[in-house]
Amino acid sequence: MSNKIPVGVLGATGAVGQKFVTLLEGHPWFELTELAASDRSSGKSFSEATTWRQYKPIPEWLRARTVKACEPNLDCKVVFSGLDSSVAGEIEESFARAGYIVLTNSKNHRMDDDVPLLIPEVNPEHLGLIKAQRNRRGWSGAIVTNPNCSVIGLVMALAPIHRAFGIKRVIVATMQALSGAGYPGPSAIDMLGNVIPYIGGNEEEKVETEPLKIMGALEGDHVRFANLLISVHTNRVFVEDGHLECVSVELEKKAKPDDIARVLESFRSLPQELKLPSAPENPVIVTGERDRPQPRFDRDAGNGMSAVVGRIRECPVFDIRFVVLSHNTIRGAAGASILNAELMKSQGYF
């Protein structure tokens, strides 16, 4: 019998849920034992309930598995949530209240004072908020969130720079992949030979605020937000996976492109020290090729868990500018929550 930790997926039939299922297959620490989804799906077999859109087929042994309702009576203590934000809030709370550790990709609780918004390489110490969360809410479980898919790659690049040189202001323009819009997402006839310079759901506001919490300092029961300003333009482009971002940065201390490259290339953190199973060897990969990173060729770097930074150069307006790419459904969603879980396990939370 396996001595892996049994885990469940909430919203298992959706796009993020499918990615959780795919990434958990063969995981060295976790064993996927429970699939839960909306009432429309519960009671059906998984293969029947889901419109599978992953390249790898549904793991054979899960095809006939019955999808359960999203109620806190699952036979596991850890759940990954790919629930839609319209329902995630209450369901995730009900699980945390019932003692489950909830690792969620949904936005609902990201900005709550007592909820960690976690990138294990950047702010692992924010797990300390769980104590306050449990005290305040009387929960035996906990909710831990990962950031918006455009935020993760951005912050993985900004955080080491911020530590080394201090960041005052950032202006970003994103070119985001179709998969970031969920399934089915934008229609083909709208996207053919086109760019849509707008992403709904307050995407720009998220990318402007979440990084301040992530790069903030844990002070007892809350986080003091980092003191920098971010402005974001978001765009949807005809790309399958991989969010590309053009970033201009004003620094506190002057730095040359080579300094920035060195800081990013040498960036290692707790997940690398702990050799967490999903942690990439290099959280940030710096490419010197003049026309990279490109979504199709670079998004899978570090099994989709690395951010790739290129075109680091001086900025005539601010100090430094560059391009960063990260895989929006791996590092930017399901892979992020799994790495969060790995960190929590290694820190004794399970």
- Which two tokens mark 8? 């469940």
Identify the residue among 33, 272, 294, 347 touching a copy of itself (CB under 8 A).
Answer: 294
| Residue 302 interacts with a copy of itself (CB under 8 A): yes or no | no
User: What value does the CA radius of gyration of the chain take, rounded to a whole number of Å?
Assistant: 19
| Contacts with a copy of itself, 34-73, as mask; x by CB under 8 A | -------------------x-x------------------
Query: How far is Cα 250 from Cα 162, in angstroms, rounded to an integer?
Result: 10
- Distance, CA of 103 to CA of 189 (rounded, Å): 36
CB-count exposure of residue 253 (10 Å: 0-12, 13-18, 19+): exposed
Token duo for residue 105: 């990709």
- Which parts of 71-130 interact with a copy of itself (CB under 8 A)? none
CA atoms of 66 and 115, how far apart (whole Å): 31
Give the one residue of 140, 195, 202, 227 binding a copy of itself; rule: CB under 8 A: 195
Contact yes or no for 207/234 (Cβ under 8 A): yes
Q: Which amino acid belongs to residue 341?
A: A
Per CB under 8 A, 290 contacts a copy of itself? yes
Residue 266 binds to a copy of itself (criterion: CB under 8 A): no
User: Which is nearest to 171 in space by CA: 299, 38, 316, 29?
Assistant: 316
Which of the ranges 77-85, 259-267, 313-321, 336-344 carries the binding residues for a copy of itself, by CB under 8 A? 313-321
Site string for a copy of itself, 133-172 (x = CB under 8 A): ------------------------------------xxx-
* Residues designated catalytic: 149, 243
Residues found near a copy of itself in the complex (CB under 8 A): 53, 55, 169-171, 173, 175, 178-179, 183-198, 208, 229-231, 233, 235, 237-240, 244, 246, 248, 290-297, 300, 310-311, 315-318, 321, 323
